Amino acid sequence: MNHLTHSDVTALLLAISVLLLCARALGEFFQRLKQPAILGELIAGILLGPTVLGAIYPELQGMLFPTDGPVAIALEAFTTISITLFLFIAGMEVDMSTVWRQGRSTIAVSVLGLLVPFAVGWLAAFFFPYRLGFEGDLSVHVFAMFFATASSITALPVIVKILMDLNMFRSDLGMIIVGAAVVNDLLGWLIFAVILSLMAKSGAGGMPIQTTILLTFGLAALLLTVGRWAIEKLVVWAQAYLTWPGGIIGFSLGLSLLCAALTEAIGIHAIFGAFLFGVAFGENRHLREHTKAILDRFVSFFFAPIFFAGIGLKVNFLTGFDFGVVAVVLGLASVGKIYGAMWGAKLAGIAKQEAYAIGFAMNARGAMEIILGMLALQAGLIREKLFVALVVMALVTSMTSGSLMQRMLKRNKPAKLVDLLTAKRFTARLKATTADECIDELVGLVGVGEKVSMEKIAREVHSREQLLPTGLENGVAVPHARLSEIEEPIVCVGLSEEGIDFNAPDGSKARVIFLLLTSADKHASQLELLADIAKTFGTQTAVDNAVECVGFTEFLAHVRSPHIPQA
Amino acid sequence: MNHLTHSDVTALLLAISVLLLCARALGEFFQRLKQPAILGELIAGILLGPTVLGAIYPELQGMLFPTDGPVAIALEAFTTISITLFLFIAGMEVDMSTVWRQGRSTIAVSVLGLLVPFAVGWLAAFFFPYRLGFEGDLSVHVFAMFFATASSITALPVIVKILMDLNMFRSDLGMIIVGAAVVNDLLGWLIFAVILSLMAKSGAGGMPIQTTILLTFGLAALLLTVGRWAIEKLVVWAQAYLTWPGGIIGFSLGLSLLCAALTEAIGIHAIFGAFLFGVAFGENRHLREHTKAILDRFVSFFFAPIFFAGIGLKVNFLTGFDFGVVAVVLGLASVGKIYGAMWGAKLAGIAKQEAYAIGFAMNARGAMEIILGMLALQAGLIREKLFVALVVMALVTSMTSGSLMQRMLKRNKPAKLVDLLTAKRFTARLKATTADECIDELVGLVGVGEKVSMEKIAREVHSREQLLPTGLENGVAVPHARLSEIEEPIVCVGLSEEGIDFNAPDGSKARVIFLLLTSADKHASQLELLADIAKTFGTQTAVDNAVECVGFTEFLAHVRSPHIPQA
């Protein structure tokens, strides 16, 4: 069989499209529930794989996702390329400069946050391997080393997302966490690379292990020093002389796959090369955000979902699930990681509450843990039971660390306009022609069920408006009031084609009017909402586009999916 | 063989990265020479394939790009996915509304521009098949139908690019050409789909031909009417309720692959489904430019180069080259197309010169012709000789139609800042502190070799500056003069950290200063350059970024690769 037949092509395209569509659908669903998208993507694979679909309709499952023949090979090749590109993107997020910026604290958190769970993991796996899903025909030494590494890994992308959600990414604490996670990630992956080559006994082409290890560290050192410098020059050159952004996109993807081929050839997995290249490439002040966005979005929403859903096709999560193993893995890894990182933070002189928050943040594992587990499973380093336990551990830690951090720091997530908009509290055609009428009309949209009467709301908003008019520039107005009776912010929106005079400084008539009602206790909510409105409706074009909306869905689409001007 | 071994993965990654890097490198090279990138991408494949590398180092070639075994299957699968996604993007560019806008002229040009070359091609292929590389074991009827279709196809993307280069895209003439090309493309692909299914004798799964044809037209009609409407609703919904742009990216790619699987299943090639979905998806006023850019750039600079270079791996262009066949194919196709489209244009009352220009524009074939040829070759519809001739025809028509149009309409390409910047005429550190000193310093950069003396240039620029100061807003100044002695525009650029007073209306000191010298005869050049500068340096950020440049390459990178703000 050297060519794909007509039905092979059909099967391949069907398999990839079904994987992608289901993964994205469930990914979006879980994101709506404020859970990580990867959870939904994995579940999509579990539903389509042997665990569910295979148990109910084994024939259909085998037809859609064959484990044999050219389509199986093609799918495997495609997921290999997917994971390689995903690691390239993950590498791009690693910003080494954060490590230097916070210096001592970062080093303390990362070193203890790595060593403690590593030691705990190693001891547990070495002395009680069977409790961790170890099976007789493996090497206990390599197994213990792997479990130690798996316990100490951290997922940079998850942490970055949690910090951004909490508006803490640019804070000192946020930078310490990110810096420590960067060091953790780099060291963790290097150790894992060494384990994989140990495992392979003799590297590819009969290369001795020492050579593989030496080449691995050599390549890492080279890429992160001279390589980084050369890539920076290359990027400037490419931006000056090649088509843009096509030049950079083609070359960065090509070079990341080339580095992947190189590491695969020296006996460690392809993804290390792509990851290292990503680190060297991404940390580059000349690289444009637009180029990064194209690479990141396409890989994250095309290749990554296919890979993560593909994991569910390979493993039976029902037969592989062992409650004892899951509990032990989750407990050991979390305790080691949280206490290790916290201990490091305390040594660096960070207060107790914040040190705990750092520990919780560093405990998020996410995609990286799952990829590590998958590679170990493929390499025969672990069996299904431990793999399933690692996946559960990765998901549980990712899902909990945000809210644990939030509770520890008593931080509220900033109020966001997009979360507060509802169809009931929106009207595309305001009847009002004056500011007073408009306020009454918008207050009318609040509806029943609030602890405060509409009359009181209207009174408060009117008196606030008389104090100082709320018309902004570009045709936006934000009548508002703080009320002691309400807890969560309320936003009502009205559009007016003719415009209503809210005494804006630029004399413009308001065409998009937001009524903002916030709790009298939470001072910040109102400012956060105002900032969000100013950002979203800061340009004339944004307001013009919004006014043209004929319904709530279109309006919401404008807020959630902004028009970004292209070159 | 059901799994990719260590060395298979290495080989696969190496093959893809080498293909991509070489294709992009040669693609960029030919773009510098003002030729289409696809020319370079094809040549990269020819160099890496049996034609060149295979002839010199057959073993190395066989190792890099095996034709047998799992790596060959994986590569074939990857190029199949690549071409499917490329057609999705090509479909996105098809804007049916252009057809209705110009009405009668568009219909006349497209119908005659399709029918005449179709008739010429059919007659030639039916009566003189051997002159066109026909070989004995094929069906003359199907062959003639194919050649007729191949003669009448037009390449929308190439035409769009040519019109944009000539600044004619939004003109009436430009819209007629684009509209006609859209109709041409849609009809041409549908006819080709029918031929392929005729060729397969009985469709997939023993489906009778009539059913396949019926389903093809049914699917096309459905997607372009109800489908378009449903997709528009879906896009608004996704933009309102899903993550952005991830939601749209995942779903559009997933659905395009699903449509591809569907058309493959009903017995026509996968790419038709992707193309039709692209047409239905792209024509959507709610879709954001940013989303389109991500899809377009990634596919155009990752998947497409790999596919086009991959063509060179499959065909030996040396043994397949037959001068007689190439000349006949090129001549027949061009004459039929140019005269057909011209005739249509004349019937619609368009003047002779412009009618010729329309004919030349419609003659550009580009990527579409090559894809058509590749599919026919794979389906056994044609042999290597005709395929090579079609490729040459596609390239020659793409390379010449722009300059033929330009000559016919006596249009100059607009002067572009980026084409006029040189390292010699750039200084990152102006010594001047006054406008007069600055002008002298910049004039000093013009250098010898011009027909006019530096003294005269300086005199003209100074007197122009005294007439009306040339300081613009945001810290840009554009001292300039029109000189009868020079032909091509000259641009000198200087950066000044402290700023130089050029009497700007906003009182800002100029930090980026352009000296513009244009021909006294060509009134437009100066305005085009001024417009280009205003666009590129219209924001404070753009000027700030430019002033920080330490050398010419960095500065050029800022002009060619702008910073686009991200959400």
Q: What is the DSSP string of A497-541?
A: EEEE----TT-PPEEEEEEEEEESS-HHHHHHHHHHHHHHT-SHH
Q: CA-nearest residue of chain B to A69?
A: B2
Task: Give me the residue from A69, A258, A301 closest to B249, CB to CB.
Answer: A301
pLDDT recorded at residue B16: 97
CATH number of B69-409: 1.20.1530.20
**Alpha helices for B423-539 (secondary structure H):** 435-444, 454-467, 523-536
A17 shares contact with chain B (CB less than 8 Å):
yes
A67: chain B residues, CB-CB within 8 Å: 2
Task: Give me the residue from B68, B77, B286 closest to A557, CB to CB.
Answer: B286
Q: Which of A1, A7, A14, A17 to mutate to test the interface with B (most CBs of B within 10 A)?
A: A17
A426: chain B residues, CB-CB within 8 Å: none
3-state secondary structure A49-105: CCCCHHHHCHHHHHHHCCCCHHHHHHHHHHHHHHHHHHHHHHHHHCCCHHHHHHCHH
Length of chain A: 567
Residue predicted with more confidence, A203 or B272: B272
pLDDT tens-digit map of B458-499: 999 999 999 888 998 889 999 999 998 888 899 999 999 999
DSSP H or E stretch at residue A25: helix A6-32
CA A401 to chain centre: 13
pLDDT recorded at residue A495: 94
In the beta sheet, which residues pair with residue B476? Answer: B512
pLDDT recorded at residue A49: 94
Distance CA A228, CA A234 (A): 10
Record: contact B288-A561, CB cut-off 8 A: yes
3-state DSSP assignment of residue A332:
helix
Which residues lie closer than 8 Å to B369 by C-beta, 6 or more apart? B150, B153, B155, B390, B391, B393, B394
First to last CA, chain B: 47
Mean pLDDT over B338-345 rounds to 94
Distance CA A48, CA B404 (A): 56
Q: CA-nearest residue of chain A to B242?
A: A28
B21: left (phi over 0), alpha (psi -120 to 50) or beta: alpha
Q: Mean pLDDT of all residues in chain B?
A: 88
pLDDT recorded at residue B268: 81
Task: Give me the residue from B17, B18, B244 closest to A561, CB to CB.
Answer: B244
- Selecting from 3.40.366.10, 3.40.50.300, 1.20.1530.20, 2.60.120.330, what CATH number does the domain A82-409 have? 1.20.1530.20
Query: In 3D, which of B87, B73, B57 has the Cα closest to residue B15?
Result: B73
ipTM passes above 0.85: yes
Mean pLDDT over B83-111 rounds to 86
Distance CA A420, CA A525 (A): 12
Residue predicted with more confidence, A412 or B120: B120
pLDDT tens-digit map of B20-78: 999 999 999 998 888 888 899 999 999 999 999 999 999 999 999 998 889 999 999 99
Whether residue B214 contacts residue B194, with contact meaning beta carbons closer than 8 Å, is answered with no
Distance CA B254, CA B302 (A): 18
B2 shares contact with chain A (CB less than 8 Å):
yes
pLDDT tens-digit map of B392-416: 999 999 889 888 888 888 877 788 8
* Shortest CA gap A546–chain B (Å): 12
Distance CA A184, CA A193 (A): 14
Q: Which residues of chain A have a pLDDT value below 70? A: 1-2, 136, 199-206, 566-567
pLDDT recorded at residue A202: 41
pLDDT recorded at residue B258: 97
A237 shares contact with chain B (CB less than 8 Å):
yes
pLDDT class of B561 with cuts at 50, 70, 90: confident
In the beta sheet, which residues pair with residue A477? Answer: A471, A513
* Shortest CA gap B286–chain A (Å): 9
DSSP H or E stretch at residue B491: strand B490-500
pLDDT recorded at residue A539: 84
Q: Which of A4, A86, A297, A545 to mutate to test the interface with B (most CBs of B within 10 A)?
A: A297
* Shortest CA gap A74–chain B (Å): 5
Whether residue A543 contacts residue A475, with contact meaning beta carbons closer than 8 Å, is answered with yes
* Shortest CA gap B555–chain A (Å): 8
Fold adopted by A417-560: Mannitol-specific EII; Chain A (3.40.930)
Task: Give me the residue from A250, A270, A295 closest to B305, CB to CB.
Answer: A250
Task: Give me the residue from B32, B286, B293 closest to A566, CB to CB.
Answer: B293
Mean pLDDT over B319-323 rounds to 92
What residue has token string 């950290």? B497
Domain extents for chain B? 6-64, 69-409, 417-560
Q: Is the pLDDT of residue B541 over 90?
A: no
CB atoms closer than 10 angstroms to residue B128: 12
Task: Give me the residue from B14, B28, B265 closest to A247, CB to CB.
Answer: B28
Interstrand relation of A490-500 and A426-427 (parallel, antiparallel or unpaired): parallel
pLDDT class of B199 with cuts at 50, 70, 90: low
B253: chain A residues, CB-CB within 8 Å: 20, 301-302
Q: DSSP character for A390?
A: H
Q: Considering only residues 288 to 307 of chain A, which have any Cβ-Cβ distance to chain B shorter than 8 Å?
A: 288-291, 293-295, 297-298, 300-302, 305
**E strands within A382-525?**
426-427, 476-477, 480-483, 490-500, 510-519
* Shortest CA gap B18–chain A (Å): 7
* Shortest CA gap B270–chain A (Å): 8
Distance CA B408, CA B565 (A): 40
A300: chain B residues, CB-CB within 8 Å: 246
Distance CA B494, CA B471 (A): 14
Residue predicted with more confidence, A554 or B194: A554
- How many Cβ pairs within 8 Å bridge chains A and B? 290
B247 shares contact with chain A (CB less than 8 Å):
yes
pLDDT tens-digit map of B220-244: 899 989 999 999 999 999 989 998 8
What residue has token string 């002298």? B440
pLDDT class of B206 with cuts at 50, 70, 90: low
B14: chain A residues, CB-CB within 8 Å: 258, 261, 265
Record: contact B270-A9, CB cut-off 8 A: yes
A80: chain B residues, CB-CB within 8 Å: 4, 9, 12-13
B564: chain A residues, CB-CB within 8 Å: 288-290, 564-567
Which pair of tokens denotes residue A289?
A: 């955000």
A81 shares contact with chain B (CB less than 8 Å):
yes
Is residue B134 classed exposed, middle or buried when 0-12, 13-18 and 19+ CB atoms within 10 A define those classes? buried
A258 shares contact with chain B (CB less than 8 Å):
yes
Please, what sign has the CA dihedral across residues A331, A332, A335, A338? Answer: negative
A246 shares contact with chain B (CB less than 8 Å):
yes
Distance CA A193, CA A219 (A): 12
pLDDT recorded at residue A203: 42
What residue has token string 């879906």? B234
A167 shares contact with chain B (CB less than 8 Å):
no
Distance CA B41, CA B59 (A): 23
pLDDT recorded at residue B485: 87
CA B522 to chain centre: 29
Output phi, psi for A356, to 5 deg: -60, -45
DSSP H or E stretch at residue B244: none
Record: contact A13-B563, CB cut-off 8 A: no
Distance CA A444, CA A170 (A): 40
CB atoms closer than 10 angstroms to residue B483: 18
pLDDT tens-digit map of B441-451: 999 998 877 78
Q: CA-nearest residue of chain B to A235?
A: B557
